[in-house]
């Protein structure tokens, strides 16, 4: 889809800090880290919202979210994870995305580059 920032990330037309990729989905660090390790998982195919995504891709995204949750526990020592998914007027970027928000009893004091290095080496 032209002019979709997340399609541009999928097509590597703009840089992002990719933490996971396969045939169906890509996961990368959110530009605005609401918490250390804040990531987005998106389908590679441009779909708008929860109404539009196929059940099989949605299941796959949840499987990848669970794998990344294990990764965050091992790499960032997170103590929990919040999943968040905005639709319609709640959604700024009009390409389906699932937010992964690692939660901490004690927040680590790490730069985005340090966070990225820890996640991708796990
Ligand atoms: P939402 O309000 O659910 O649509 O959130 C969109 C998210 O996309 C926000 O958390 C933004 O920080 C994030 N975002 C926007 N552009 C980029 C980008 N180029 N790379 C990484 N994250 C982005
Ligand atoms: Zn798109």
Q: What are the sequence ranges of the domains in the chain?
A: 5-120
pLDDT tens digits, one per residue of 3-26: 999 999 999 999 999 999 999 999
Q: Confirm or reject: Cβ of 5 under 6 Å from ligand 1.
A: yes
Distance 58 CA to ligand 1 centre (A): 19
Q: Rounded mean pLDDT of 67-84? A: 98
Residue 36 scores a pLDDT above 90: yes
Looking at the CA of 13, name the nearest ligand.
1
Indicate if 99 belongs to the active site.
no
Pick the CATH number of 5-120 from 3.30.428.10, 1.10.3720.10, 3.40.1190.20, 3.40.1180.10: 3.30.428.10
| DSSP characters over the chain | -TT-HHHHHHTTSS---EEEE-SSEEEEE-SS-SSTT-EEEEESS---STTTS-HHHHHHHHHHHHHHHHHHHHHH--SEEEEE---GGG-SSSS--EEEEEE-SS-----HHHHHHHHHT-
Residue 39 scores a pLDDT above 90: yes
Q: What is the pLDDT of residue 96?
A: 98
Residue 1 scores a pLDDT above 90: no
**Residues measured by CB to lie within 5 Å of ligand 2, the ion:** 1, 4, 6-7, 46, 95
Q: Rounded mean pLDDT of 69-96? A: 98
Q: Rounded mean pLDDT of 42-47? A: 98
Q: What is the pTM of this model?
A: 0.98
Looking at the CA of 95, name the nearest ligand.
2
Q: What is the pLDDT of residue 122?
A: 79
């Amino acid at each position: 889809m032209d002019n979709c920032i997340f399609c541009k990330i999928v097509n590597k037309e703009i840089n992002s800090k990719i933490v996971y990729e396969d045939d169906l989905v890509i996961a990368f660090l959110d530009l605005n880290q609401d918490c250390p390790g804040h990531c987005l998982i998106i389908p590679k195919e441009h779909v708008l919202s929860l109404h539009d995504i196929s059940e099989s891709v949605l299941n796959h995204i949840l499987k990848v979210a669970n794998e990344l949750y294990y990764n965050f526990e091992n790499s960032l020592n997170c103590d929990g994870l919040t999943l968040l998914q905005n639709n319609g007027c709640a959604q700024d970027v009009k390409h389906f995305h699932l937010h992964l928000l690692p939660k901490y009893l004690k927040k680590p004091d790490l730069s985005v580059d340090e966070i990225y290095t820890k996640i991708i080496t796990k």
